[in-house]
Amino acid sequence: MTVTAGCSGHRYGRCIQYARESGSATGVPFESQQQFHNSRSRFKGFSGPIGAGKSQALCYEALKLAYLNPGCPGLIGAPTYPMLRDSTRASFLELVEENDVPYRLAKSANTIYLHEPNSWILFRSLDSFERLRGTNLAWFGVDELTYCKPEAWTRLEGRLRNPQAVHRCGFACWTPKGYDWVYQRFISAEKLPGYQGFLATQNTALPADYYESLKSSYDPRFYEQEALGLYLNVWGGRAYYAFDGQKQQGTVPYSASFPLWWSLDFNVNPMCSLIGQTVIANNREQIRVLDELVLPDSNTPAACEEFLSRTAKWNSGRPLEVHVYGDATAEHRETSASRTDLQIVRSFFARYPELYKAHFHMPSRNPPVKDRVNCVNAVLLNHAGARRLFIDSRCQELAKDLEQVVWKTDPSGNTLSELNNRDRMRTHLSDALGYYVHRQFPMRAAMGERGGPAIL
């Protein structure tokens, strides 16, 4: 089926087909996509699981509105510039090329000019929403709206005022992120007047094992949100809800056949880090936390000396292979007057070449808190029911973190995307665990229909 985009009296009406990757070789939209396009609501949204054709719907709607509003500018936005460039704009270009729509791309201005309707489409990153003031728009569309701040949407609403527009519309697509501002505005029973949301289901045209393969990477609640498109309170209450102390805490053996990892959270009081291994057991990877270092009122040199003491029992006469992970601030925070934390750790290992062979995996910046927590929950228990992380009984403070750390809430009781750290003993060891797990066991699915870095 094709859908005609054009307007009465305009000589460039055109039939636009979906890009073939959206679901079938004929470019036919799914029923939920068609319902979204047929809606005449001033503001409308398309929500569903990853792979459900949300970006395809966004691009089709943008092209349709460009023809419905000849001579008027429109805007397509995304949460970050890399996603805008690599996913959203690429999807739109694929759509216009498959439909032989004549256009001109101005890369420096990040705009596309459509010759037939004489319309410009601006492509803008929404992470700096104050820059959105200015041009009067006939329409705008936002990819992955749940990753954007509400201020970005309201700025765009204020620009939907082009006097020549035939049909003004603001629209968006997204993967659910709980009962957030997007849910409240588009989906809930108290949704705003003039707003309408449409729910997509899993894309049956994808490979048969696409969603099944995600079960080993996602914890149960995250799978239901990302792969089923359900609205859940994923971020409410306990952060590491997948941890079960009875099943995951006990005697954890060291294996001389595998290297050590040491992951640090460069706090001062307490200074915290974890020593562990990732081994192959029963033909699958298993993360073992062997020991925890919790040093009150301490510093990085003291943590290094404690690591030396704790690992001496595993020295067999040849250097232990150690992979070092940790807080990105290690490269910038100075414990002494002249050396950063990372320089201190490097110098420590350089002093003992007969004992250690060290490899460093420090990120340039820390991952988002939600990303780390998602990754840890997924190795604690994935949707397939497998537990891949086990901690030794001596790691009492880490166990307390996994049992007690909760999300912050605002004065109204709304859950925030930050961990509650009012207790100075909490969050540091689970942070150290998260730095390692996020680096070595990242979530496989990414934001957007085409992929890219996840911004959870």
Q: Locate the domains of the chain by residue range.
A: 3-206, 245-440
At what angle are helices 300-311 and 341-351 packed, to 10 degrees?
A: 40
- E strand or H helix at 226: helix 220-226
Question: Which CATH number does the domain 245-440 belong to among 3.30.420.280, 3.40.630.30, 3.30.420.40, 3.90.180.10?
Answer: 3.30.420.280
pLDDT at 130 over 60: yes
pLDDT at 350 over 90: yes
pLDDT at 1 over 80: no
pLDDT at 58 over 70: yes
Residue 377 token pair: 């929950």
| Cβ contact 99:20 at 8 Å | no
In this chain, the answer to whether the domains covering 3-206 and 245-440 adopt an identical fold is no
Number of residues that this document lists for the chain: 456
Question: Sorting pLDDT into bands at 50, 70 and 90, what band is 330?
Answer: low
Q: What is the CATH number of domain 3-206?
A: 3.40.50.300
Instruction: Write down the pLDDT at residue 178.
Output: 76
Tens digits of per-residue pLDDT, 178-235?
Answer: 778 898 899 987 888 999 999 988 777 777 788 888 887 787 777 878 888 877 765 5
| Cβ contact 12:116 at 8 Å | yes
- E strand or H helix at 91: helix 89-98
Instruction: Write down the pLDDT at residue 345.
Output: 94
In angstroms, the CA 279 to CA 249 distance is 17
Using DSSP's 3-state secondary structure scheme, residue 341 falls into helix
Dihedral, CA of residue 251, residue 255, residue 259 and residue 262, to nearest 10? 20
Q: What is the pTM (predicted TM-score) of this model?
A: 0.60
Mean pLDDT of 234-258: 87
pLDDT at 27 over 70: no
Residue 215 token pair: 């079960």
